[in-house]
Amino acid sequence: MIRVFIVAASPLARAGLQSVLGNRDVEVVGSAPNFESLAGQWLEVEADIVLVEASGEQFEALFDSLAASQIASETTIMVLSDHSESQWFAEALRAGVRAVLPSNTSPDQLVAALEAATAGLIVLHPAEVDAMFPAAEPASRPLAELTEPLTPRESEVLQMLASGLANKEIAARLTISEHTVKFHVASILGKLGAGSRTEAVSLGIRRGLVLL
């Protein structure tokens, strides 16, 4: 049987947790409104874990009190909280907390977490894990094949666009008119699905059409 000491500022919260855990294979060995009160009883308490109900509390004050009491170095600490910031979870773990769950955790989940934490495991709710370790941005989808490939001349023009040449300079190098260059550029934009010369170069690089 797990022996639990409850810390909660609200008498109603303490009574609620005692009621929930009293119907499980858990023994509530005491309760207190804060860590200072717990410290005064600690030598007389035989608890496997301290369950802290911290809804609405400022986490800086909570962890300062926890650190001052040094309880985390002597037993397992589990916190119920409505905080959802990744900073909060990181601070909790650094302060010695070994389990963090939402305040609305079900009785079955609560008991399972108590068992896991007293067995030496770190327990976090899946939503809290997501907050601490956001999913990576999905990789860019592979580009579809061009419906119409660039002509050799268009490939030359695209390479020159990537080099930063203006239409007049491209025309001079290829010995064609600026009008023809504009025609090629428009065709390149259309085939690549680009809205600008810069985007065309970017897409050309991704497709391996531009040599860097």
Confidence at residue 170, expressed as pLDDT on a 0 to 100 scale: 92
Task: Provide mean pLDDT across the span 116-141.
Answer: 71
Is the CATH number of domain 152-206 1.10.10.10?
yes
**Is the pLDDT assigned to residue 84 strictly greater than 70?**
no
Residue 135 confidence class, pLDDT cut points 50, 70, 90: low
**Tokens of residue 40, six digits:** 């005064």
Query: pLDDT higher for 180 or 146?
Result: 180
Separation CA 146–CA 9 (nearest Å) = 65
Domain boundaries, the chain: 2-132, 152-206
Confidence at residue 122, expressed as pLDDT on a 0 to 100 scale: 86
Q: What is the pLDDT of residues 142-162, one digit of tens each?
A: 677 888 899 999 999 999 998
Residue 137 confidence class, pLDDT cut points 50, 70, 90: low
Separation CA 96–CA 63 (nearest Å) = 9
Residue of 74, 11, 8, 1 lying closest to 43 (CA atoms): 74
Confidence at residue 145, expressed as pLDDT on a 0 to 100 scale: 80
In percent, the amount of the chain with pLDDT more than 70 equals 88
User: Which of 18-48 are b and which e, b meaning 16 or more Cβ less than 10 Å from the residue's Cβ?
Assistant: bebbeebebebbbbbebbeebeeebeeeebb
Q: Give the CATH superfamily of 2-132.
A: Response regulator (3.40.50.2300)
Residue 179 confidence class, pLDDT cut points 50, 70, 90: very high
Confidence at residue 136, expressed as pLDDT on a 0 to 100 scale: 55
Q: Is the pTM of this model over 0.75?
A: no
Of 59-73, 128-142, 191-205, the least confident: 128-142
Confidence at residue 164, expressed as pLDDT on a 0 to 100 scale: 86
**Is the pLDDT assigned to residue 11 strictly greater than 60?**
yes
**Is the pLDDT assigned to residue 195 strictly greater than 60?**
yes
Q: What's the Rg (C-alpha) of the chain?
A: 32
By the 10 Å C-beta count (0-12 exposed, 13-18 middle, 19+ buried), 100 is classed as buried
